[in-house]
């Protein structure tokens, strides 16, 4: 093992999904990995202040589930033991979209799991804690990433520990998994380097979520429901998934002011006005287990670190610090886990080079573009709503027409249905739609339309 080490200490800022998966990727490559988290980390799967989004539905895509299993072999069994609910892809979640209420439900041959975000995160945290060379320090807020006087090398972090004292921790590598990436931007600014350009898609999304006990007479035709509005006029939608403990988590929301209120009665009224009645009918008499949690998500953001000329050695932003996606598509945790797998591979491949850390960030930024391409192209679909702010792609109308035709074929043909779900779950890249036979069928449908 000693020959595979590339540094003495790595520090990870943040014990969210990106930080924990990054810590898993770094495990055998440094003498010591220290994860610093500002929150108190609960021993039970409960909510905490630093990740307010955890109060809302968190779907785990199959790519994310597989990436987590690659980082932590046997992870799926951990989820099952924690009470996560198995879902047959294509069958167990009723998808309602305009023209298909519901979209054909068929078993496409694989299973995923539904669980609350705290349960998923705690399962990952337990794996990270079990690594003997990894230390998780809670109530420890990083205040600054430190660099050499000329700004070329990151040397560690300064943090405020749980006694309120300021502390300096030296490190060969600092991974910024703090979500917002503010510490990375502050460092670049302080050493006079340019900040990364940003592409933003302003969606102005408002979310509200409630948890219900699943009633005895609940439908047996589905375990979860996804209801889409009708773009461009109706942005209201809902997603209800089962959670551990025989519960449903229902998240409903809309855009540009069309948002749910924060009281229980208002929540039901808003659910009743969704395009289809399935979620409302399921929850109207169900026992509500807590209050209404709300969240506002202004925009998807992609920071173009890959366009920067040079980057301080020993610093790596990851996860939401690089790219934040519209949560409706359920991509963030899975992209975080896929990025951690990429990090693990790059560290393995760079093992023989003289200074594996020197090129790590620039190679990572370059290679993750492929990884982000498909999820970002999904986020771009938000331009179907005319109020969406940002640079609408020139060929967007053609993209929409292509998508409508592809959906029609997927409804008729289980093999194409499976393919589209594999792309949505980030198991296959968008480029699979360029298959000549499929293209021909799509163009025929477009002509018919």
Ligand X SMILES: Cc1cc2nc3c(=O)[nH]c(=O)nc-3n(C[C@H](O)[C@H](O)[C@H](O)COP(=O)(O)OP(=O)(O)OC[C@H]3O[C@@H](n4cnc5c(N)ncnc54)[C@H](O)[C@@H]3O)c2cc1C
Cα–Cα nearest to 51, from 134, 125, 161: 125
* Candidate segments 176-184, 195-203, 347-355, 436-444, binder of ligand X by CB under 6 A: 176-184
Residue 297 CB, nearest approach to ligand X (Å): 5
Among 90, 112, 156, 179, binds ligand X (CB under 6 A): 179
The values of phi and psi at residue 170, to 5°, are: -80, 150
Closest CA to 347 of 371, 309, 316: 316
Q: Which of residues 136-155 bind ligand X (CB under 6 A)?
A: 141-142
Say how many C-beta atoms besides its own lie within 10 A of residue 52's C-beta.
12
Binding residues for ligand X restricted to 303-322, rule: CB under 6 A = 319-320
DSSP 392-442: --TTHHHHHHHHHHHHHHHHH-HHHHHHHHHHHTTSS-GGGGG-HHHHHHH
Distance between CA 365 and CA 354 in Å, rounded?
A: 20
Among 63, 116, 334, 350, binds ligand X (CB under 6 A): 334
Encoded one letter per residue, x for contact with ligand X by CB under 6 A and - for no contact, window 114-133 reads --------------------
* Residue whose CB is less far from ligand X, 139 or 392: 139
Q: Which of residues 9-28 bind ligand X (CB under 6 A)?
A: 13-19
* Residue 276 binds ligand X, judged by CB under 6 A: no
Compute the distance between CA of residue 449 and CA of residue 445 in angstroms, rounded to an integer: 6
Q: Of residues 25-44, which lie at the interface with ligand X (CB under 6 A)?
A: 36-39
Taking CB under 6 A as the criterion, the residue among 229, 238, 254, 330 binding ligand X is 330
**CA separation for the pair 47, 417 (Å, rounded):** 36
In the bound state with ligand X, the residue whose beta carbon lies nearer, of 334 and 350, is 334
Phi, psi dihedral angles at 173 (to 5 degrees):
-140, 130
Stretch that binds ligand X, among 57-65, 81-89, 221-229, 378-386 (CB under 6 A): 57-65
> Per-residue x/- marks for ligand X, 205-244, CB under 6 A?
--x-------------------------------------
- Using CB under 6 A, which of 56, 236, 294, 313 touches ligand X? 56
Provide, rounded to whole angstroms, the least separation between the CB of residue 352 and ligand X.
30
Is the link from the previous residue into 102 a cis peptide, with omega within 30 of 0? yes
Binding span for ligand X by CB under 6 A among 91-99, 173-181, 254-262, 424-432: 173-181
Instruction: Tell me which of 155, 178, 227, 276 binds ligand X, using CB under 6 A.
Output: 178
| Residue nearer to ligand X on the CB measure, 133 or 138 | 138
CA–CA separation, 368 and 188 (whole Å): 21
72 binds ligand X (CB under 6 A): no
Kindly tell me which of 178 and 388 has the beta carbon lying closer to ligand X. 178
Among 9, 29, 58, 303, binds ligand X (CB under 6 A): 58
Using CB under 6 A, count the residues that bind ligand X.
35
Report helix, strand or coil for 184: helix
3-state DSSP assignment of residue 93: strand
**DSSP readout, 332-377?**
HHHHHHHHHHHHHHHHHHGGGSS-TTTTHHHHHHHHHHHHHHHHHH
Q: Decide if 211 contacts 398 (C-beta within 8 A).
A: no
Which positions from 192 through 211 interact with ligand X, judged by CB under 6 A? 207
57 near ligand X, judged by CB under 6 A = yes
User: Could you tell me whether strands 93-96 and 224-227 are parallel, antiparallel, or unpaired per DSSP bridges?
Assistant: parallel
- CA nearest neighbour of 223 among 187, 195, 249: 249
The residues binding ligand X (CB under 6 A) are 13-19, 36-39, 50-51, 53, 56-59, 141-142, 177-179, 207, 295, 297, 319-320, 327, 330-334, 336
């Amino acid at each position: 093992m000693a020959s595979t080490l590339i540094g003495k200490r790595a520090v990870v800022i943040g014990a969210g999904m990106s930080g924990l998966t990054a810590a898993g990727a770094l495990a055998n490559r440094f003498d010591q990995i220290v994860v610093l988290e500002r929150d108190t980390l609960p021993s039970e799967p409960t909510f905490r202040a630093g990740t307010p989004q955890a109060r809302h539905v968190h779907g785990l895509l199959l790519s994310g589930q597989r990436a987590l299993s690659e980082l932590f072999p046997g992870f799926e069994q951990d989820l099952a033991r924690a009470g996560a609910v198995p879902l047959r892809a294509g069958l167990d979640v009723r998808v309602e979209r305009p023209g298909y209420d519901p979209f054909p439900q068929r078993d496409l041959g694989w299973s995923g799991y539904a669980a609350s975000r705290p349960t998923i995160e705690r399962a990952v945290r337990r794996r990270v804690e079990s690594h003997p060379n990894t230390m998780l320090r809670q109530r420890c807020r990083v205040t600054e990433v430190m660099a050499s006087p000329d700004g070329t090398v990151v040397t560690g972090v300064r943090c405020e520990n749980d006694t309120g004292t300021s502390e300096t921790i030296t490190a060969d590598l600092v991974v910024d998994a703090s979500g917002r990436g503010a510490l990375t931007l502050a460092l670049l600014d302080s050493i006079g380097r340019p900040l990364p350009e940003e592409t933003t898609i302003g969606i102005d999304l408002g979310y509200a979520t409630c948890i219900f006990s699943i009633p005895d007479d609940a439908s047996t035709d589905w375990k979860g429901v996804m209801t889409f509005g009708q773009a461009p006029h109706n942005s209201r939608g809902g997603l209800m998934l089962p959670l551990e403990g025989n519960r449903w988590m229902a998240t409903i929301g809309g855009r540009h002011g069309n948002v749910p209120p924060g009281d229980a009665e208002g929540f039901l009224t808003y659910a009743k006005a969704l395009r289809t009645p399935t979620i409302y009918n399921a929850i109207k008499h169900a026992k509500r287990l807590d209050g209404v949690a709300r969240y506002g998500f202004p925009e998807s953001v992609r920071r173009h670190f890959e366009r920067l000329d040079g980057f301080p050695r020993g610093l790596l932003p990851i996860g939401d610090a690089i790219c934040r996606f519209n949560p409706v598509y359920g991509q963030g945790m899975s992209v975080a886990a896929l990025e951690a797998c990429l990090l693990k591979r790059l560290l393995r491949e760079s093992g023989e080079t003289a200074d594996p850390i020197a090129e790590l960030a620039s190679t990572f930024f370059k290679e993750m573009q492929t990884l982000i391409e498909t999820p970002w192209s999904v986020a771009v679909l938000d331009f179907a709503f005319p109020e969406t702010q940002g640079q609408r792609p020139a060929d967007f109308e053609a993209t929409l027409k292509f998508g409508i035709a592809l959906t029609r074929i997927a409804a008729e043909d289980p093999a194409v249905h499976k393919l589209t779900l594999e792309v949505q779950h980030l198991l296959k890249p968008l480029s699979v739609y360029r298959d000549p036979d499929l293209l021909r069928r799509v163009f025929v449908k477009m002509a018919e339309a």
